[in-house]
A = this chain, B = another copy of it.
Amino acid sequence: MANARGPYAKSTRVRAAAVEAAAELFGGAGYRGATFKDVADKLGMTAAGLSYYFPDKDSLLRAVLEERDRPAVTAETALPPSPSHAELTDHVMAILSENIGHPGLAELHCVLSAEATSADHPAHEHFRDRYRKARELLTDALSAAAAHGEIRSSVPPRALATLLLSVLDGVQLQWLLDPEEVDLRETVRAFVSDLLAPSSPA
């Protein structure tokens, strides 16, 4: 970044501001509900001016997915290969704390992943592959944990991995809709610390 000054620095700043604005609009109105011009308006630019940095709405979406979808994946890969039950609980609660601290990102993920269920949505492959990778990583970790008697072994690890991701998404949806009524932390904690616990004392 030794040359990050002058026009280059400005370009970096505008790009970062555009990704920020697009993430906010996509999280609120959805990718399909927000227009390229909405993003330009939010930045106080013309659409032609914004197109100098991002040619179209698709390129904005790609940048948002690359830069905003990172925390959760990083967190997923930080799970030890054979976690103890306590490590698994701590790991899930850490992901959750990050989401609670950034409700805008939680909403962005919620809205874009739902929109992306349409096979023709530009983020369809991104979310399909992201969930595939997350299920694989979690399945491996939960298999190892089950083999060591750290979590319940009565259900296939792959089903537990799918359920854990579902619980994170589904409880967050209810919490985003109704933050006063839904205790996101305690509900998810109950799932991991109690429902995933080994059936009989190890």
Interface residues of chain A, those whose CB is within 8 Å of chain B, are 28-34, 107, 110-111, 113-118, 124, 127-128, 131-132, 135, 152, 154-156, 159-160, 162-163, 165-171, 173-174, 176-178, 181-183, 186-187, 190-191, 194-195, 199
Q: Which of B31, B34, B174, B186 contacts A131 (CB 8 A)?
A: B174
Chain B min CB distance to A177 (Å): 5
Q: Which of B124, B159, B165, B173 contacts A117 (CB 8 A)?
A: B173
Which residues of the other chain, B, contact A171 by a CB distance below 8 angstroms?
162-163, 166
Query: When A117-B111, A155-B195, A166-B167 are in contact, do A177 and B124 touch as well, CB less than 8 Å?
Result: yes
Q: Besides A30-B30, A155-B194, A162-B174, 16 other CB < 8 A contacts?
A: A30-B115, A32-B32, A111-B114, A113-B177, A114-B114, A116-B177, A128-B178, A131-B177, A159-B186, A162-B171, A163-B167, A163-B171, A163-B191, A165-B170, A166-B187, A199-B199
- Bound together, the chains give a CA A154 to CA B193 distance in angstroms of 11
Question: In whole angstroms, how far apart are the Cα atoms of A31 and B124 in the complex?
Answer: 18
Closest residue of B by beta carbon distance from A117: B176
Q: Which of A31, A152, A166, A167 has the most CB of B within 10 A?
A: A166
Question: Which of B155, B177, B186, B199 touches A190 (beta carbons < 8 Å)?
Answer: B155
> How many angstroms between the C-alpha atoms of A178 and B177 in the bound complex?
25
Given known A-B contacts A28-B118, A30-B30, A170 and B176 have beta carbons under 8 A apart: no
Give the distance to chain B from A23, nearest Cβ to Cβ, in Å.
Answer: 14
Bound CA–CA A109/B162 (angstroms): 20
Question: A113's closest neighbor in chain B, by CB?
Answer: B173
Known: A131-B177, A174-B165, A177-B116. A159 touches B190 (CB 8 A): yes
